[in-house]
Amino acid sequence: MLACSPPVSGAHHDLYEIEAVSKQLFNLLKEAGIETEGLFLNADAGFDSAKFRSLCAKM
């Protein structure tokens, strides 16, 4: 595991604040000098959204 987000209350769906959390994770990787080019995300279908895929492609 390279990065991990903080736990989120069970009252929220998988995509709750996904953009903000993802940006934090990408920044942690960048600060650690870990290249994100070519990395893949193994997540369940609950994380599949056009917005999230676009964010991952940008990062």
According to the model, what pLDDT value does residue 34 have? 87
The answer to whether the beta carbons of residues 52 and 18 sit under 8 Å apart is yes
According to the model, what pLDDT value does residue 33 have? 92
**Is residue 29 assigned to a domain?**
yes
Does 1 have pLDDT greater than 80?
Answer: no
**Is residue 8 assigned to a domain?**
no
Does 14 have pLDDT greater than 80?
Answer: no
Please compute Rg for the chain using Cα positions.
12
**Is residue 9 assigned to a domain?**
no
Q: Which residue has the tokens 């870990």?
A: 34
- Looking at the whole model, is its pTM more than 0.85? no
**Is residue 2 assigned to a domain?**
no
Domain count, the chain: 1
Query: Domain residues for 48?
Result: 18-33+44-58
**Is residue 24 assigned to a domain?**
yes
**Is residue 10 assigned to a domain?**
no
